[in-house]
Amino acid sequence: QVQLVESGGGLVQPGGSLRLSCAASGNIFRINAMTWYRQAPGKQRELVAGITSNGRSNYADSVKGRFTISRDGAKSTMYLQMDSLKPEDTAVYYCNTLGTTFQYGAFNSWGQGTQVTVSS
């Protein structure tokens, strides 16, 4: 129905940067919101940042000023620019998308996750 593919994770030293991407594909009529979540070992999944169809964004307090979310509507792609990374940012990052398809109505889709490891 709707597929999400994340990319851009990896190993980076503290203070470094990474850029995550999430590309949505399928029978999509409209995307209402795209959100990044993360889950560290032994912890619950938490919201990192989200962006709506009209460009409004929100961030977890822990990443404000360091992470920037953006979206290319024409390509149904979302990005997360992560700067000044800290070891506590280490987690699997997941993309979530809410919207509507042409044929099946509303959807709520998750990507497979991409690992981000911040370590020296």
Using CB atoms within 10 Å of the CB of residue 55, give its burial: 0 to 12 exposed, 13 to 18 middle, 19+ buried: exposed
Rg (CA), the chain: 14
> Rounded mean pLDDT of 57-80?
94
Predicted confidence at residue 1, as pLDDT, reads 84
Q: Is the Cβ–Cβ distance between 6 and 95 less than 8 Å?
A: yes
Give the burial string for 10-37 (b: 16+ CB within 10 Å, else e).
eebeeeeebebbbbbebebeebebbbbb
Q: How far apart are CA 13 and CA 120, in angstroms?
A: 5
Average pLDDT over residues 12-31: 96
**Per-residue pLDDT at 100:** 93
- What does pLDDT average to over the chain? 95
Alpha-carbon distance of 100 to 96, in angstroms, equals: 13
Q: Is the pLDDT of residue 74 over 80?
A: no
The C-alpha angle with vertex 80 and arms to 100 and 15, in degrees rounded to 5, equals 165
% of the chain surpassing 90 pLDDT: 89
Q: Per-residue pLDDT for 11 more than 90?
A: yes
